[in-house]
Amino acid sequence: MSGPGLAAEAFKAGLVDECRLFVVPMVLGGGKRALPGSVRLKLDLLAERRFGNSMVYLRYRGAGA
């Protein structure tokens, strides 16, 4: 997705089958949210991978999808 606004609309419309995230352990402060705050969706973890630099890849599917 190209930003949280578009992501929120896609989540609300039920168009998102999977959510893939790279989590980087760094606090920057400020900026836009990575995920929309107006949508709640239960997710099932499909895969995870940890990298040597402490970054983590997470792959989720919407529960019930």
The percentage of the chain sitting over the pLDDT mark of 90, rounded to a whole number, equals 29
Name the pTM for this structure: 0.72
Tell me: the pLDDT tens digits for 14-37?
888 898 989 888 888 877 676 667
For residue 9, what pLDDT is reported? 82
Q: How many domains does the chain have?
A: 1
- Residue 54 CA: distances (Å) to CA of 18, 32, 57: 23, 23, 10
For residue 41, what pLDDT is reported? 80
Q: Which domain holds residue 28?
A: 4-62
Tell whether the model's pLDDT for residue 1 goes beyond 60.
no
- Residue 53 CA: distances (Å) to CA of 9, 20, 25, 59, 60: 33, 18, 9, 19, 22
Tell whether the model's pLDDT for residue 56 goes beyond 80.
yes
